[in-house]
A and B are shown apart, each in its own frame.
Chain A
Amino acid sequence: KQEVTQIPAALSVPEGENLVLNCSFTDSAIYNLQWFRQDPGKGLTSLLLIQSSQREQTSGRLNASLDKSSGRSTLYIAASQPGDSATYLCAVRGGRSTGANSKLTFGKGITLSVRP
């Protein structure tokens, strides 16, 4: 069974700091990995999608990397701002143990607080 872990569950940093959010998964036979942002009381917003053949994706101050062989992904946020405060979730699609290439497995998320 595919399992996705995000540690720590919560993180507090001062404004301006560059930070890295980690995501690990147990089954490396994935099709893609997606990072989401969730604000309180809201739905999930897609940030970055990395295909299994890719090593990284960038969007603005965000950069996500993928290392399938080690079962890890990182989301790098440059020059963090209070507006970045939210919960960040990663999800992997597929894996030998999921039984269907359509299924996504989510981590429980990292709640980020950026202090002014």
Chain B
Amino acid sequence: NAGVTQTPKFQVLKTGQSMTLQCAQDMNHEYMSWYRQDPGMGLRLIHYSVGAGITDQGEVPNGYNVSRSTTEDFPLRLLSAAPSQTSVYFCASSSYTETGELFFGEGSRLTVL
């Protein structure tokens, strides 16, 4: 019963490096999303997708790219990491209905030096 799986759990990057945070769900959910959580700022939506091949921007999309080639996977790419991207990142998914319950992964803690 995996649910939403995120990898890696921890990552340290240097400024300017790129990396991809992986997210996979096995619940056949159409809707997937990425959030970042920072002290005092709460959860902020980065990007979301309502189905394979469809993505859209959230509140804080700059510096991040996403793609959705399959229903199961929704990777988040940092193109050129900056210290301001130090955060905890959460992937979440739900069925794409107005009534869908949102399920979260365990999070990925990223530090950019």
Q: Which residues of A contact B (CB under 8 A)?
A: 31-32, 34, 36, 41-46, 49, 51, 89, 91, 93-94, 100-104, 106-109
B64 close to chain A: CB less than 8 A: no
Complex interface: chain A residues within 8 A of B43 (CB): 89, 91, 106
If A46-B101, A49-B101 touch, does A106 touch B42 (CB 8 Å cutoff)? Answer: yes
Which residues of chain B in 57-94 are interfacial with respect to chain A, using CB atoms and an 8 Å cutoff? 58, 90, 92
- Given contact pairs A100-B56, A106-B42, enumerate 17 new A-B contacts (beta carbons under 8 Å): A31-B98, A32-B99, A34-B102, A36-B104, A41-B107, A42-B107, A43-B107, A44-B92, A46-B103, A46-B104, A89-B43, A91-B102, A93-B98, A93-B100, A93-B102, A108-B40, A108-B41
Pick from A32, A91, A108: contact of B98, CB under 8 Å: A32
B106 close to chain A: CB less than 8 A: yes
If A43-B90, A101-B98, A102-B31 touch, does A107 touch B42 (CB 8 Å cutoff)? Answer: yes
Rounded to whole Å, the gap between the CB of B27 and the closest CB of chain A is 13
| Shortest Cβ distance from A36 into B: residue | B104
Pick from B90, B96, B104, B106: contact of A102, CB under 8 Å: B96
The count of residues in chain B whose C-beta lies closer than 8 Å to any C-beta of chain A is 24
B24 close to chain A: CB less than 8 A: no
Contact B48 A43 (CB under 8 A): no
Contact B101 A34 (CB under 8 A): yes
Which residues of chain B in 14-54 are interfacial with respect to chain A, using CB atoms and an 8 Å cutoff? 31, 33, 40-43, 45, 48, 50
